[in-house]
Amino acid sequence: MIIVCYVVTALIAYLLGSIPTGYVVANARGIDIRKVGSGNIGATNVFRILGKPAGIFVLLVDALKGFVACALVGAFVHRVLFGDVLAQPSTTLEVHKIVGGFLAILGHNYTCWLKFKGGKGIATSAGVVLALLPQALGVALVVWILLFVITRYVSVASIGAAFVLPFGTWWFHRNDTLLIGVAGVIGALAIYKHRGNIKRLMSGTENRFDKKKETAP
């Protein structure tokens, strides 16, 4: 029965994470966000193309997807299938949170609604880490801000934050190898999704985030 519970959590979390917020917001304005700017459906490209309000909205909703999937979906499924969630072992609930959070990230990165091509998952990952590892998120956020202020590259800031995430997790949860491993996987996936940015950084063609809103065709 517990396996069924995990599968249901994974399915709901994936479908929640797969909602392509950036694509939906841009499409409502008659723009295919995949064909303008960087071609990414994430908040950064929406910010560049549609401006600050739309970019902030997409950022918050994408983060909320991860937070809800991690903090609430597993507990909800657990209560429906097993009854009182508080009566179950805490480790079971932790695994539910991990399953829900990770599948939400995969849903965002590989959304079934756009032929399994999605965003880079930074905002959704941040929502998951907020629910699962809030202290480690604080460390990663400080690194993100510092790198962004210094370089003006969102990609550099995101890669740096992803890199320090498992180390921040280790600092606050030294005896929890599961959480450290999960943080490492989340960070590695975020860096992997930035492989195109890494190539552009190495070739000097990556765009800094200091331009005014681009005009969409």
Cα–chain center distance at 171 = 22
Cα 201–Cα 204–Cα 205 angle in degrees, nearest 5:
90
Tokens of 44: 């950064």
Taking residues 56-80, report their average pLDDT: 91
Position of tokens 């009566």?
87
Position of tokens 């000097």?
204
Query: Residue 200 and residue 53: Cα distance in Å, rounded?
Result: 28
Whole-prediction pTM: 0.92
Q: How confident is the model at residue 182 (pLDDT cuts 50, 70, 90)?
A: very high
Taking residues 87-98, report their average pLDDT: 76
Quote helix, strand, coil % in the chain, to nearest 5.
75, 0, 25
Q: Which amino acid is at 65?
A: K
**pLDDT > 70? residue 159:** yes
Phi, psi (degrees; rounded to nearest 5) at 8: -65, -45
First vs last C-alpha separation in the chain: 52
**pLDDT > 60? residue 216:** no
Q: Which amino acid is at 136?
A: A
The answer to whether 130 and 120 are in contact (CB under 8 A) is: no
**Is the Cα dihedral 61, 65, 68, 70 positive or negative?**
negative
Can you list the alpha helix ranges (DSSP code H) found in 152-209? Answer: 154-172, 177-193, 195-203
Q: How confident is the model at residue 87 (pLDDT cuts 50, 70, 90)?
A: low
pLDDT for position 215: 47
Per-chain mean pLDDT for the chain = 92
